Amino acid sequence: MTRGFAITLNALSLYAVALVLAAAFAAQLVLQELPCPLCLLQRIQFAVLAIGPILNVRFGPRPSHYALSLLAAVAGAAFSTRQVLLHIMPGDAGYGTALFGYHYYTWALIGFAAAIVLLAAILLFDRQFERGITAEQAAPGAFATSAVWLVIGLTALNVVSTLLECGFGACADNPVVYELLKR
């Protein structure tokens, strides 16, 4: 795997994270279901997962950048496992609406597990780490740059959304209204 191909794969992974964040937003806005604190924490971990690929696009692929994403994915998997276990009792309807038979936290666990496997797989290819032209000299293309700004934009939108939902106090365990929009 060449350095250029690895950077393209990293850009694709950023689009995947953007898709997850956009889907969570869509569910929040269309179904009027506000994310719970654990749900927000899982969204945060998906955003943290994107920092490694951003560094790979900016500075070129390095094992340490993939390690950051692995750490974020392991933490995210732990958080989503916690929420799966909270609703594991028979008869428990779960939190929020199910999508294709699974709740969002179950999809999140599948997503983080898939990220761990994919990160391990991409680390198998050593040629991407060979030092040739530096990443600083080779500016990222429009495809990768758009992916970076899409993820940054969606994360910034989450700052606004979470502020509206939780206000300046602690987030409700089962939020039903936006604290800052209450009349």
Partner 1 sequence: MEFTALFLAVTIVMLVAWFGRRSLALALFAVVLLASVATYLHHATDTLKLSF
Q: Shortest gap between Cβ of 37 and partner 1 (angstroms)?
A: 6
| Residue 12 tokens, joined | 């694709």
Q: Which residue among 88, 93, 139, 142 contacts partner 1 (CB under 8 A)?
A: 88
Query: Does 113 interact with partner 1 (rule: CB under 8 A)?
Result: no
CA distance 13 to 75: 18
Q: Which residue among 30, 89, 139, 142 contacts partner 1 (CB under 8 A)?
A: 89
Please say whether the beta carbons of 158 and 22 come within 8 A: no
Q: 40's torsion region: left (phi>0), alpha (psi -120 to 50) or beta?
A: alpha
Q: Shortest gap between Cβ of 4 and partner 1 (angstroms)?
A: 19
Q: How far apart are the first and last CA of the chain?
A: 57
- Total interface residues for partner 1 by CB under 8 A: 44
Query: Does 155 interact with partner 1 (rule: CB under 8 A)?
Result: yes
Q: Which residue among 9, 18, 72, 108 contacts partner 1 (CB under 8 A)?
A: 72
